[in-house]
Structure 1
Amino acid sequence: MLLSVIVPCYNEEENVPIFYEEMMKNSAFLEQEKLELEIIYIDDGSKDNTAAEVRKLHEKDERVHLVSFSRNFGKEAGIYAGFQKAKGDYVVMMDADLQDPPSLLPEMFSYIKQGYDSVATRRVTRKGEPPIRSFFARMFYRIMNKISKTEIVDGARDYRLMTRQVVDSILSMCEYNRFTKGIFGWVGYETKWLEYENVERTHGETKWSFWKLFLYSLDGITAFSTVPLAISSIMGVVFCIIAFVAIIALIIKNLIYHDPTPGWPSMVCIILLVSGVQLFCLGIVGQYLSKTYLEVKKRPIYLVKEEL
């Protein structure tokens, strides 16, 4: 039996050896469970010496593997590559910055032995995050769970231990526009959730700015909900009704009172409002159209420069 550990990395040269050492400290349960180990570092086009650090580890431990991309393709591509390269009967995905504590692995595997298909983790606190970022993150999960049939748990991490069956199901979803948190929920299976408090990064800074997280949330909404399209349609119908009623009212007013319609400033405001709504709805349609455009081109999700 083999346990595959997938570690997506982007500019994590300081954390690569630290993560390996921490994994070795918490690997005693592998012998007890008669599990072999492989660690797959996915270098997502790092600009530092991340790949070089992994090569050093590979030289002293053949269980360490490297998949290095030709450029930065994003964490979603790194996760997908890790799933494709993993050969394990069990697969776990973890961040290199140790925000996903390896010390939880023995407990996670104990639940797999009890019959769960996957064991996932979620943060119960967002300690260390800016308040405004935490607020919008919680709002995203609330909105997403209202407009989508796929459940996405608030505070869910990518840190998750899965059986081979779950991994194969995820790999069967070979879409280009990937939103892994949604994919985890969509494939289903019996999942055990473990809660833990937020852990600070060991070194470096997060690669996720507020703007990147906002764009990522848009990817999630367009990937797992068509409600925004319905909203844009409803808004179009509502404004047509309002316009029709307003026209009738103006005609009646002119016939009765012979009062021409005054007030060009108010008319300009109305035009700007309606135009803004039209552009907003067009933007929603454009988001879905752009995703379709990227899908039909069928470009590879990632390109590998080096593999060990």
Structure 2
Amino acid sequence: MNNRDNLISIIVPCYNEEHAIPYFYKAITEHSTLMKNEFGVDFEYLFINDGSVDNTLTVLKEYASKDNRVKYISFSRNFGKESAMYAGLKNASGNYIAIMDADLQDPPYMLTEMYKTIIESDYDCVATRRTTRIGEPPIRSFFARCFYKLINRISKTDIVDGARDYRLMTRQMVNAIIDMGEYNRFSKGIFGWVGFNTKWIEYENVERVAGETKWSFWKLFLYSLDGITAFSTIPLALSSILGFLLFIIAFILVFVIIIKTLIWGDPVAGYPSLVCIICFLSGVQMFCLGILGQYLSKTYLETKKRPIYIVKESNKENYQ
């Protein structure tokens, strides 16, 4: 058995989490001690400092100086949670890898059930989903449910409603995810796209232990667009269908106006109706161009081959 066969790597993306990290560290170390006594597993805590502008990095360095299980990778700027998760997966040393948030909305006690499920069955991943959204603004919950319904209708990739990034995966599954080195990342879709046997564990929503959420409604909206364009081409087909339907409607209306004028001598409708029609068609055209622009922009970013993240400093040897 090599050193990482019984090692669990905990990946923790951090952005301005100086107040939450002490709570998280206390909770995860207490539970990892219980798991070590029960299963004989070791832990690695891999914190990804995603360009924090507070004292997150200072706090991480303090814990790293006292606990050799604490590793950190600090980015040169804020690249986003998706980049942080990818960096964590790419640099994790364990044979089992978990992703957790630093705000304790991902309860550490669930790791025991996750680990037991993987080692006692043929599951490659144990993932979590929220059954409630208590504490979340109602408008955000409504649009979140709408997004999951929409993405599952237009995409072949299974994306579970309420799914969290909190999951424990085998090394084989993580390697498959790492191989998907695309720049525009939507991990909830990537987790489903790579396949592998996944068991879902449900739990009620847990509020943050400290700090404030970094996800505004606008950021979540843009993130949902990333998910749609990354795992479905239906919007492109929709714009084509919409254009064809408008063409048919216009063609029919031309005949209606001609026949109406010949029979009743009624002239063509006036200026107000014409303005409404022009505005409507212009809006449809801009909408379709916007859909095309979304896909084109993603393609443009992929062809530039820019790095997903840039590391400024780290205490982990041979980081990538």
TM-score normalised by the shorter chain: which range applies?
over 0.9
Unaligned runs of 5+ in 2: 1-5, 316-320
In the other structure, the counterpart of 1:287 is 294
Give the equivalent residue in structure 1 for 2:29: 24
What is the match of residue 138 of structure 2? Answer: 131
The yes-or-no answer on 1:56 pairing with 2:75 is no
Structure 1 partner of 2:101: 95
Report whether the alignment pairs 1:235 with 2:242: yes
CA offset at residue 263 of structure 1? 1.4
What corresponds to 1:67 in structure 2?
73
For the 8 Å contact 1:17–1:57, the answer to whether it is kept is no
Q: Structure 2: how far apart are the matches of 1:289 and 1:193?
A: 35
Task: Quote the offset at 1:291 in angstroms.
Answer: 0.5
Residue 165 of structure 1: aligned partner: 172
Q: Distance in 1 between matches of 2:303 and 2:192?
A: 24
Amino acid in structure 2 at the alignment position of 1:148: S
The total of aligned residue pairs comes to: 308
Deviations 1:248-296 (A, max 9, x none): 2222233334443131110110111011101111111111111111111
Counterpart for residue 15 of structure 1: 20
Contact kept, 8 Å, 1:15 with 1:96, in 2: the verdict is yes
Offset, 1:60: 0.6
Per the normalisation by structure 2, the TM-score is 0.94
Which letter maps to 2:302? E
Alignment partners' CA distance in 1, 2:19 and 2:260? 75
Q: Deviations over 1:192-242 (max 9, x none)?
A: 111111111110110001111000000000000111111100000000111
Taking the aligned partners of 1:190 and 1:209, their CA distance within structure 2 comes to: 33
Q: How big is the alpha-carbon RMSD for the aligned residues of Structure 1 and Structure 2?
A: 1.0
Offset from partner CA, 1:124-166 (integer Å, 9 cap, x none): 1100001111111111100111110001111110000000001
Asked if 1:211 is matched to 2:218, the reply is yes
- Structure 2 Cα separation of the partners of residues 18 and 127 of structure 1: 21
State which drifts further: 145-154 or 256-265.
256-265
Secondary structure of the residue that 1:242 maps to in structure 2? helix
1:93 is displaced (CA, Å) by 0.4
Q: 1:293 and 1:64 mapped to 2: Cα distance?
A: 38
Distance in 2 of aligned mates of 1:257 and 1:196: 68
User: In terms of mean alpha carbon deviation, does 253-262 or 123-132 score higher?
Assistant: 253-262
The answer to whether the aligner puts 1:35 opposite 2:35 as a matched pair is no
Please give the secondary structure, in 1, of the residue aligned with 2:57. helix
Select between 1-10 and 12-21 the one with higher mean Cα deviation: 12-21
One-letter amino acid of the structure 1 residue matched with residue 55 of structure 2 = N
Which of 85, 95, 101 aligns to 2:91? It is 85
| Structure 2 residue matching 1:174: 3-state secondary structure | coil
| Residues in 2 aligned to 1:217 and 1:262: alpha-carbon distance in whole angstroms | 42
Amino acid in the other structure paired with 2:225: L
Which letter maps to 1:102?
A: P
Aligned to 1:105: 111
What amino acid does structure 2 have at the position aligned with 1:48?
Answer: D
Which letter does structure 2 place at the counterpart of 1:285?
Answer: L
Within the alignment, does 1:76 sit opposite 2:82 as a pair?
yes
Q: Is residue 15–residue 202 contact of structure 1 (8 Å, CA) maintained in 2?
A: yes
State the Cα distance separating 1:24 from its structure 2 match: 1.2
Counterpart Cα distance in 2 of 1:201 and 1:180: 22
| Aligned equivalents of 1:90, 1:163: Cα separation in 2 | 5
| In structure 1, C-alpha distance between the alignment counterparts of 2:19 and 2:36, rounded to whole Å | 26
User: What SS does structure 2 have at the residue aligned with 1:119?
Assistant: strand
Structure 1: tracts of 5 or more residues without a match: none
Distance 2:39 2:234 in 1: 46
Q: In 2, are the aligned partners of 1:123 and 1:196 still within 8 Å (CA)?
A: yes
Tell me, yes or no, if structure 1 residue 244 matches structure 2 residue 251. Answer: yes
1:8-27 C-alpha deviation (Å, 9 max, x unpaired): 00000111122111111101
Q: Is the 8 A contact 1:117 1:191 kept in 2?
A: yes
**1:119 maps to which residue?**
126
What is the one-letter code of the residue matched to 1:6? I
Distance across 1 between alignment mates of 2:76 and 2:103: 22
Query: Separation in 2 of the partners of 1:124 and 1:259?
Result: 61
SS in 2 for 1:120: strand
Counterpart amino acid of residue 67 in structure 1: I
